[in-house]
């Protein structure tokens, strides 16, 4: 899902991604798509590792966060779990933000090297970009055939857009890296490809754009004690926030997010604990 975020479908099918999510856990917590166009540029940026310690530090951060993001699949998570205090404040999947940061910064290195690096640096950077683009295409052909992956794909066959759209942006970034990026207009086009990738491959069709109570619905919830908590009091001096402490979130019920969101829709309500 780091390379094909809708490979297992979408919580609310729509647009070009018309299949219901069949993956493990939920799409929100497992989403970490950095953008394949940006990933291609990040591979070009690996040329900077030889001369720039900051680039090496970014790779170390990205690799560490990737291992952490997959949680119990590696022994490292068990070590972190046993750390005093820190080990109890964790949501493994969210470590992916460190990986995304590293990819973004290495992508910037890639742009700089492709535009103004020495000739040998540009040659190596282009070769790495082409290799990354080829690897993406091979992954698109190989991943859906794996049994461990196929059984999570609704119907056993992914919606074509889930593979074709990210691949198209990766190949567009390769074209930009090979030649266009050294031209000013070409560089702007590459930036546009990166932005469009993040929108069309994932963000523009994510469920947050399609669901969620309106401000009016929240106002009604505030006025009506409809939650297990008895509602969020809108009167002056009422309770505007709840603090829950426990080892399991199940007792909170389905309203553990709505309570906070509802209180946020009542700016005149004094917030107390």
Residues 159 and 52 in one domain: yes
Range of the domain at 188: 36-209
Task: Let me know if residue 29 belongs to a domain.
Answer: no
In contact, 44 and 125? CB cutoff 8 Å: yes
Residues 98 and 159 in one domain: yes
Residues 103 and 43 in one domain: yes
Residues 244 and 188 in one domain: no
Q: Please check the confidence at residue 253 and state whether its pLDDT lies above 60.
A: no
pLDDT of residue 271: 40
Structure confidence by residue, pLDDT tens digits, 134-149: 999 999 999 999 998 9
How many CB atoms neighbour CB 115 within 10 A? 16
In contact, 118 and 52? CB cutoff 8 Å: no
Task: Let me know if residue 19 belongs to a domain.
Answer: no
Q: Is 198 helix (H, G, I), strand (E, B) or coil?
A: helix
Residues 252 and 182 in one domain: no
Q: How confident is the model at residue 12 (pLDDT cuts 50, 70, 90)?
A: confident
Residues 145 and 225 in one domain: no
CA-wise closest residue to 35 among 210, 145, 230, 173 = 173
Structure confidence by residue, pLDDT tens digits, 17-32: 989 999 888 888 888 9
Residues 221 and 155 in one domain: no
Q: State how far the Cα of 144 lies from the Cα of 6, in Å rounded to an integer.
A: 12
Residues 143 and 247 in one domain: no
Q: Please check the confidence at residue 262 and state whether its pLDDT lies above 50.
A: no
Q: State how far the Cα of 261 lies from the Cα of 273, in Å rounded to an integer.
A: 15
Of the listed ranges 162-166, 248-252, 259-263, the least confidently predicted one is 259-263
In percent, the amount of the chain with pLDDT more than 70 equals: 76
Residues 158 and 106 in one domain: yes
Structure confidence by residue, pLDDT tens digits, 180-214: 787 878 888 899 999 999 999 999 988 876 665 56
Q: State how far the Cα of 180 lies from the Cα of 192, in Å rounded to an integer.
A: 13
185-224 as b/e: b if 16+ CB within 10 A: ebbebbeebbebbbebbbbebbeeeeeeeeeeebeebbee
Task: Let me know if residue 23 belongs to a domain.
Answer: no
Task: Let me know if residue 139 belongs to a domain.
Answer: yes
Output the 3-class SS for 51-104: CCHHHHHHHHHHHHHHHHHCHHHCCHHHHHHCCCCHHHCCCHHHHHHHHHHHHH
Q: Rounded to 5 degrees, what are φ and ψ at 261?
A: -65, -40
pLDDT of residue 219: 60
Residues 185 and 70 in one domain: yes
Residues 144 and 171 in one domain: yes
Non-local CB neighbours of 88 within 8 Å, separated by 6+ positions: 81
Q: Please check the confidence at residue 124 and state whether its pLDDT lies above 70.
A: yes
Q: How many domains does the chain have?
A: 2
Residues 130 and 68 in one domain: yes
């Amino acid at each position: 899902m780091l390379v094909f975020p809708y490979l297992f479908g979408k919580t609310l099918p729509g647009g070009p991604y018309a299949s219901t999510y069949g993956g493990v856990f939920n799409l929100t917590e497992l989403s970490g798509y950095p953008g394949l166009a940006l990933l291609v540029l990040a591979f070009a940026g690996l040329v900077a590792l030889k001369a720039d310690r900051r680039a090496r530090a970014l790779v170390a951060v990205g690799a560490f966060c990737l291992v952490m993001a997959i949680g119990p699949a590696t022994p490292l998570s068990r070590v972190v779990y046993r750390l005093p205090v820190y080990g109890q404040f964790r949501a493994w999947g969210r470590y992916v933000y460190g990986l995304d940061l590293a990819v973004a910064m290495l992508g910037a290195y890639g742009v700089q090297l492709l535009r103004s690096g020495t000739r040998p640096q540009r040659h190596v950077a282009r070769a790495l970009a082409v290799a990354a683009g080829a690897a993406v295409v091979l992954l698109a052909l190989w991943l859906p055939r794996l049994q461990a992956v196929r059984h999570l794909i609704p119907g056993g066959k992914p919606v074509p857009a889930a593979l074709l759209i990210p691949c198209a942006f990766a190949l567009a970034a390769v074209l930009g890296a090979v030649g266009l990026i050294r031209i000013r207009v070409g560089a702007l086009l590459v930036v546009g490809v990166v932005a469009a990738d993040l929108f069309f491959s994932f963000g523009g069709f994510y469920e947050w754009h399609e669901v969620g109570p309106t401000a009016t619905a929240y106002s009604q919830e505030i006025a009506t004690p409809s939650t297990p908590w008895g509602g969020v009091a809108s009167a002056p001096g009422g309770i505007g926030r709840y603090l829950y402490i426990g080892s399991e979130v199940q007792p909170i019920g389905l309203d553990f997010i709505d309570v906070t969101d509802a209180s946020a829709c009542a700016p005149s309500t004094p917030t107390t604990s």
